Amino acid sequence: MADYSMYTDQELAAFLKQGDEVAYTEIFARYNYILHSHAVNKLRDREEARDIIQEVFTYLWQKKETITFTSSLSGYLYGAVRNAILNRVVHKQVQEKYFDSLKAFSLRGEVVTDHLIREKQLREFIEQEIALLPPKMRQVFEMSRKENLSHKEIAEKLDISEQTVSKQVTNAIKILKTKLGVVVYLWFIMDK
């Protein structure tokens, strides 16, 4: 078997496009640590950085045949991480705006029935979507997000690897982001 560590990024990218798992593993080994450090530096959150790196590499494998590396493999990976970080930042800003508006609303002491009904409906919708996740994924996601357990703690409790936990959480977030993204966006527009 060839030593893939001797191949250039360009050669690895070509192998990857052909579905070569060993090339993918070498790319992961070559860039995982440095991309994770880069993401931690920007986010100041190791778990969130790990989730982003997992998302980027999952996407890389899923789209291996169709991805075009316009500059270089490293350029593509850094760009993908940068874009994922920006998406997280924007998402956090939307969340903060939502929480700030709820806080301001509660401080006014007003009871607006319509607003409370829509908020309850949104919460119920989110819970329904979480309930529709595959059982194992839902269990891991709820332990992570509702019980605030670390990936390591979840892995120990369920006797699975941290990588499996990370993948399950990442996949759950992707599914929920896709299903809830438009609903949350429309809810914010209606709330103005």
User: Which residue spans of the chain are classified as CATH 1.10.10.10?
Assistant: 111-192
Residue 23 has a CB neighbour count (10 Å cut-off) of: 21
Fold of 111-192: Arc Repressor Mutant, subunit A (1.10.10)
Q: Read off the pLDDT band of 31 (50, 70, 90).
A: very high
pTM: 0.51
Q: How far is CA 15 from the centre of its chain?
A: 26
Arithmetic mean of pLDDT over the chain: 82
Residue 28: pLDDT above 60? yes
Within the chain, which residue ranges are assigned CATH 1.10.1740.10?
1-108
Out of 23-32, 104-113, 168-177, which region has the weakest mean confidence (pLDDT)?
Answer: 104-113
Q: Inform me whether the pLDDT recorded for 102 exceeds 90.
A: no
Q: How far is it, in rounded angstroms, from Cα 138 to Cα 129?
A: 10
CATH architecture of the domain with range 1-108:
Orthogonal Bundle (1.10)
Tokens describing residue 18:
């052909």
Sign for the CA dihedral angle at 53, 56, 58, 64 comes to negative
Distances (CA, A) of 158 to 134, 152, 186, 190: 16, 10, 37, 41
Phi, psi of 185 (to 5 degrees): -60, -50
Q: How far is CA 21 from CA 27, 32, 49, 106, 190, in A?
A: 10, 16, 24, 53, 46
pLDDT at 192 over 50: no
